């Protein structure tokens, strides 16, 4: 292999010798004498971008390359740095250091079930010992293995052929919430722990080869980015560029506030981009770690947006680089009420979207900035969305950037626009897939930031699907199912609300179904219907058979599709990893037996599943904080309500604010008329109550569904009052 690389580089160098070189610039001279330059992390031979950056570079942007100049090469510095990863491998979070979530590899249909891990047993039931995965966890591949971040269980390495566990390590003993990154040149896996240490593991064995402590810590998913000889990480207030061989730092950058996104890297500009908690976007020069620019592109203030506020967050998202246009795309998490603002539903034409967002910039949820100076490139006609409930809407899907063979580049997004794909047509029902323009010329009649409507399986605005792409295949990871489509006609005449881009269905995947009967192939040739849910999706695969809403118990707020090594991986919201491959869907793959975590190498339990001694089962109320210990039981629970919200489908009574992570009481809409007043008006924050009912799971937290007023009693220092008592004393609904 070394001889092949040497011959190739020498041949390339000899070819350059036959061409006259222009007078060397400082950059070229630095390369010629072997001095580190701003491009020391770029792979050689270097191919100039097929498109120029979207705006002229600033005078200090020394990372731009001439498309015509010939660069001299210093051979001794080349060989050990730049062995490119296979383009077919999804080796790091969102596929590459630009975080495009796009791969050119396509697994042609039909697909068949290959294997599953941390999911169903041989009969399609929930496997014993199953656990949830951290939010944003994606499988990455390399060396014939699949690597998965598993929280306080550390990292698992699976055999890509069978899904069997090869090793499990938790270096440092803390949680691993960040997708690891695989480096084929060193055969290493880079793992960032919540303890703030970057570990370099032997990818074949899991043994520690090196580590770099940052001195900070964070529970956020902050996956490393790998490019050339460097690994980029963010932790605490700092961003680091480390030598991937020795884990020695090239530089560190102080953002002045906690960094809330993982880094993304632009090769053309040789800049690293992150976003900090204070909503500032930072571009860092990879040459020396100095700031290239820093901007706050939104009028909103930093903080949890909640149900209604002027706050925004960036955590659980990541910058996406559109390399061909010199852009970085930044997604914001806005408040729940932004689903209905500035429109409900959103309009069906781009001109109205643009003018409305220009007038009310606080509702701009996707921002497009120039890598040259951080200035706003255009208004992205993309509305706010995510997937949550009860006044809580977490970070929504990140865009996908695709570069076509002819050099054109577009972004695929979850957009909003009318007419809706399903009734009623309002802010909750106006979401769909869309193609967003990055310039004014790719499709005649469309400007940069305009969106083109697409056909797709429906999902609501508060259930938006996370996106990834493989060739012309676009995948959406909804919390209950995975949708998959092939784009078959995106000609210029397409893309309007009445004439959308044409797609065809690829096999979908659903959490649990029983409408087809069980088969070891997990394939259903007809439509799929989720157990305990009335929605129907196109044909494909089910993960579990007749197991109900598995996602509610193991909720991670996130599902994902990854395509690598001729395999399609689907990570469900409940933490199951399903592998599909090309083949007859009615046949059984050789690796189709279910794969479970090896109990011998498990390290510890996620907090919500930690075995705890149960409290005595007495006929007295239990504290709301202990509800998790009594899931499946009918109990009376006592506590003080801190959160009350009506989301139009249910009234939420939460024992903490925000209500995520604790017991919640839900009163569904069909039962509101049984109460003397609207339920949200009868129970105010600060009210101590007792509520009786069966404790179940809902989106990862315990819940009690209330159907009758007498299930709730108001606790006072002198008495208990049934809500039903108000009915008997003559209080009626207005």
**What is the chain's mean pLDDT, rounded?**
85
C-alpha to C-alpha distance for 362 and 312, rounded to whole angstroms: 9
C-alpha to C-alpha distance for 618 and 622, rounded to whole angstroms: 9
Which residue has tokens 């996406």? 320
Report whether 511 contacts 574 (CB < 8 A).
Answer: yes
Q: What is the pLDDT of residue 726?
A: 55
| Of 67-71, 403-407, 513-517, the least confident | 67-71
DSSP structural state of residue 440: S
Q: What is the pLDDT of residue 648?
A: 86
Residue 73 banded pLDDT, cuts 50, 70, 90: very low
Quote the tokens at residue 238: 């700092």
Report whether 447 contacts 464 (CB < 8 A).
Answer: no
Query: Is 90 exceeded by the pLDDT of residue 15?
Result: no
Q: What is the DSSP string of 289-358?
A: --EEEEE---SSEES---SS-SEEB-TT---EEEGGGTEEEEE-B--GGGGGSS-SS--SSHHHHHHHHH
Quote the tokens at residue 454: 């697409």
Q: What is the pLDDT of residue 159?
A: 97
Query: Is 70 exceeded by the pLDDT of residue 111?
Result: yes
For residue 531, the Cα-to-chain-centroid distance in whole angstroms is 25
Query: Is 70 exceeded by the pLDDT of residue 10?
Result: no
256 torsion bin: left (phi>0), alpha (psi -120 to 50), beta (else):
left
Q: Could you give the percent of the chain with pLDDT greater than 90?
A: 71
Query: Is 50 exceeded by the pLDDT of residue 674?
Result: yes
Helix/strand/coil for 77: helix
Phi, psi of 633, deg, nearest 5? -105, 155
What average pLDDT does the segment 541-553 reach?
96
Tens digits of residue pLDDT in 342-377: 999 999 999 999 999 999 999 999 999 999 999 999
Q: What is the pLDDT of residue 152?
A: 95
Q: What is the pLDDT of residue 49?
A: 31
Query: Is 60 exceeded by the pLDDT of residue 539?
Result: yes
Q: What is the pLDDT of residue 595?
A: 67
Q: What is the pLDDT of residue 235?
A: 98
Query: Is 90 exceeded by the pLDDT of residue 720?
Result: no
Rg (the chain; Cα; Å)? 27
C-alpha to C-alpha distance for 12 and 546, rounded to whole angstroms: 60
Tens digits of residue pLDDT in 611-646: 344 444 457 888 888 888 898 899 999 999 998 988
215 compared with 599, residue with greater pLDDT: 215
What average pLDDT does the segment 68-83 reach?
31
287 torsion bin: left (phi>0), alpha (psi -120 to 50), beta (else):
alpha
Quote the tokens at residue 218: 């964070």
Q: What is the pLDDT of residue 520?
A: 96
Q: Give the β-pairing of 634-640 and 622-623.
A: parallel
Query: Is 60 exceeded by the pLDDT of residue 6?
Result: no
C-alpha to C-alpha distance for 425 and 287, rounded to whole angstroms: 51
DSSP H/E element including 487? strand 481-489
Q: What is the pLDDT of residue 323?
A: 98
Q: What is the pTM of this model?
A: 0.82
Q: What is the pLDDT of residue 659?
A: 84
Report whether 569 contacts 561 (CB < 8 A).
Answer: yes
Q: What is the pLDDT of residue 37?
A: 29
Q: What is the pLDDT of residue 586?
A: 93
C-alpha to C-alpha distance for 379 and 365, rounded to whole angstroms: 10
Beta-bridged to residue 117, according to DSSP, are 577, 595
Q: What is the DSSP string of 558-582?
A: --EEEEETTEEEEE-TTS-EEEEEE
446 compared with 729, residue with greater pLDDT: 446
């Amino acid at each position: 292999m070394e001889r092949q690389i040497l011959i190739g580089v020498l041949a390339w160098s000899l070819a350059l010798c036959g061409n006259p070189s222009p007078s060397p610039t400082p950059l070229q001279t630095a390369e010629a004498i072997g001095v580190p330059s701003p491009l020391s992390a770029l792979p050689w031979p270097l191919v100039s971008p097929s498109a120029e950056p979207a705006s002229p570079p600033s005078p200090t942007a020394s990372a731009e390359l001439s498309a015509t100049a010939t660069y001299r090469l210093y051979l001794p510095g080349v060989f050990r740095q730049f062995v490119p990863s296979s383009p077919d491998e999804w080796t790091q979070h969102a596929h590459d250091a630009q975080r495009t979530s796009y791969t050119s590899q396509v697994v042609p249909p039909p697909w068949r079930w290959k294997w599953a891990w941390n999911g169903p047993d041989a009969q399609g039931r929930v496997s014993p010992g199953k656990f949830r995965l951290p939010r944003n966890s994606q499988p990455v591949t390399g060396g014939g293995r699949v690597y998965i971040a598993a929280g306080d269980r550390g990292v698992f390495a699976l055999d890509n052929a069978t899904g069997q566990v090869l090793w499990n390590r938790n270096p440092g003993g803390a949680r691993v919430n960040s997708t690891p990154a695989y480096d084929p040149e060193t055969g290493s896996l880079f793992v960032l722990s919540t303890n703030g240490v970057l570990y370099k593991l032997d990818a074949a064995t899991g043994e520690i080869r090196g580590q770099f402590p940052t001195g900070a810590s964070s529970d956020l998913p902050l996956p490393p980015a790998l490019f050339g000889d460097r690994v980029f990480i963010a932790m605490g207030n700092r961003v680091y560029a480390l030598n991937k061989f020795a884990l020695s730092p090239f530089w560190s950058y102080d953002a002045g506030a906690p960094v809330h996104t993982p880094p993304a890297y632009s090769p053309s500009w040789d800049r690293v981009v992150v976003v900090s908690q204070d909503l500032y976007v930072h571009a860092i020069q990879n040459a020396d770690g100095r700031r290239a620019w820093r901007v706050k592109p939104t009028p909103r203030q930093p903080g949890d947006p909640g149900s209604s506020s002027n706050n925004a967050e960036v955590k659980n998202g990541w910058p996406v680089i559109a390399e061909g246009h010199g852009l970085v795309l930044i997604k914001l998490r806005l408040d729940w009420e932004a689903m209905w603002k500035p429109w409900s539903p959103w309009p069906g034409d781009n001109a109205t979207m643009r003018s409305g967002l220009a007038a009310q910039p606080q509702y701009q949820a996707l921002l497009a900035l120039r890598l040259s100076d951080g200035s706003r490139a255009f208004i992205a006609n993309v509305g706010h969305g995510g997937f949550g409930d009860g006044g809580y809407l977490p970070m929504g899907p990140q865009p996908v950037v695709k570069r076509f063979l002819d050099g054109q580049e577009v972004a695929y997004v979850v957009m909003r626009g009318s007419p809706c794909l399903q009734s009623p047509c309002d802010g909750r029902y106006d979401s769909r897939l869309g193609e967003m323009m990055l310039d004014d010329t790719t499709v005649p009649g469309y400007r940069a930031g305009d969106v083109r409507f697409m056909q797709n399986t429906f999902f609501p605005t508060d259930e938006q699907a996370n996106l990834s792409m493989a060739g012309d295949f676009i995948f959406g990871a909804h919390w209950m199912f995975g949708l998959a489509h092939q784009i078959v006609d995106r000609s210029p005449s397409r893309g309007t609300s009445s004439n959308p881009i044409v797609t065809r269905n690829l096999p979908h995947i659903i959490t649990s179904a029983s409408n087809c009967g069980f088969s070891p192939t997990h394939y259903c040739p007809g439509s799929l219907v989720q157990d305990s849910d009335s929605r129907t999706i196109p044909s494909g695969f089910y993960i579990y058979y007749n197991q109900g809403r598995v996602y509610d118990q193991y909720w991670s707020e996130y599902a994902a599709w990854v395509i690598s090594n001729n395999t399609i991986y689907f990570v469900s919201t409940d933490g199951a990893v399903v592998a599909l491959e090309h083949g007859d869907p009615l046949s059984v793959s050789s690796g189709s037996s279910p794969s479970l975590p090896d109990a011998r190498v498990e390290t510890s339990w996620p907090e919500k599943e930690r075995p705890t001694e149960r409290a005595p089962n007495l006929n007295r109320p239990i504290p709301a904080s202990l509800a998790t210990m009594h899931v499946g039981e009918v109990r009376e629970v006592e506590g003080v309500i801190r959160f009350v919200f009506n989301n139009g489908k249910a009234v939420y009574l939460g024992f903490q604010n925000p209500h995520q992570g604790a017991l919640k009481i839900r009163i569904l809409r069909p039962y509101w008329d049984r109460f003397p007043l609207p339920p949200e008006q009868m129970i105010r924050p600060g009210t101590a109550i007792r509520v009786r009912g069966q404790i179940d799971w809902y989106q990862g937290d315990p819940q009690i569904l209330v159907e009758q007023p007498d299930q709730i009693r108001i606790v006072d220092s002198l008495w208990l009052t049934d809500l039903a008592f108000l009915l008997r004393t003559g209080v009626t609904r207005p």
